[in-house]
Amino acid sequence: MNMIDGNTLALIGAAIAALAGIGSAMGVGIAGQAASAVLAEDPKKFGKTLILQALPGTQGIYGLIIAFLIMQKIGLLGGAMLDLTMAQGAYFLAAGIPIGLVGIWSGIAQGKAAAAALQLTSKRPDQMVKGIIYTAMVETYAIFALLVSVLIWLRIAV
């Protein structure tokens, strides 16, 4: 039974990292609904609402970064894949998990915060930046997860 080798584990790691996109998709979706409601009252706020809607999108990008870094290091993008040991594969899997998991929930939570910030913007447009800061507070934890993922990835010797 050699179904699962190091390369498989590494690819699963990349796949998990990309799952952060779930959080971003849901977050951007939640924020988008709120943005439409704001726009219905004042179409001039499109630019402002777009910025707030985009904020929960970063988790997906962070996930993409890690997935891309893993694929690059194992040679998936350059043609021939390396032969990884089980241990190396497991390291890559470990690298994918932090941003993948944290990204999902932080993206959703950030989407909710962004939706509230959008309501704030509709009532008090001058206070928008503070809404952005509130929303960005959530992102801190996605950034930390990204950091952990990157640090693990950097230490893997292939």
Partner 1 sequence: MSIVKMQKVAVIGLDEQKESIMGKLMDFGACELVDQKNKLADEEMRSLVILDDGHDRAAALDAKLNRAESALRFLEKYDLSREPLFKTRRLMKSDTVKKIDRESAEESIKSVLALEERLRETNDRINKLEQDEILIAPWLGYATPLEMIKTPKAIIHEGIVPIAVDVTELINELEEFGGIVVKRINSDKDFNYIAFICLISQEDEIMALLKQKGFSEVYFKGLKGTAAENSERIRGEKEALEAQIKDIEREASSMATLRHSIENYCDVIAIESDKEKIKSKLLKTKKTFCLEGWIPERLVGKASALLDSMNCFYQFAQPEEGDEVPVLLDNKNFFVPFEAITEMYSLPDYRGFDPTSIFALFYAVFFGMMLSDAGYGIIMAVGCLLALKKFKLEGTTYKMIKLFFYCGISTVFWGAMFGGWFGDFIQVFARTILGKEVTVAPLWFNPLDDPMKLLIFSLALGVIHLFIGMGIKAYMQIKEGNWFDALCDEGFWYFTIIGLIALLGGSSVSPVLPGIGKWLAIIGAAGLLLTGGRHNKGIGKITGGLSNIYNITSYLSDILSYARLLALGLATGVIAQVVNTMGSLFGGGIAGLIILVVVFIFGHALNIAINALGAFIHASRLQYVEFFGKFYEDGGEPFEPFRKKTKYIKIEQEEE
Instruction: Provide the binding-site residues for partner 1, judged by CB under 8 A.
Output: 51, 54, 57-58, 61-62, 64-65, 68-69, 72, 77, 129-130, 132-133, 136-137, 139-140, 143-144, 146-147, 150-151, 154
Name the residue nearer to partner 1 (CB basis): 85 or 115. 115
**Which residue lies nearer to partner 1 by CB, 77 or 86?**
77
CB closer to partner 1, 69 vs 84: 69
- Shortest CB 89 distance to partner 1, Å: 22
| Tally of CB atoms within 10 A around 133 | 10
Minimum CB separation from partner 1 for residue 70, in Å?
A: 12
Closest to partner 1 by CB, 86 or 147: 147
Give 81's DSSP letter: P
Which candidate, 110, 2, 98, places its Cα nearest to that of 58? 110
Q: Which residues lie below 8 Å from residue 95, measured CB to CB, with a gap of 6+? A: 13, 17, 66, 70, 149, 152, 153, 156
Task: Give the dihedral sign, CA 8/12/13/17.
Answer: positive
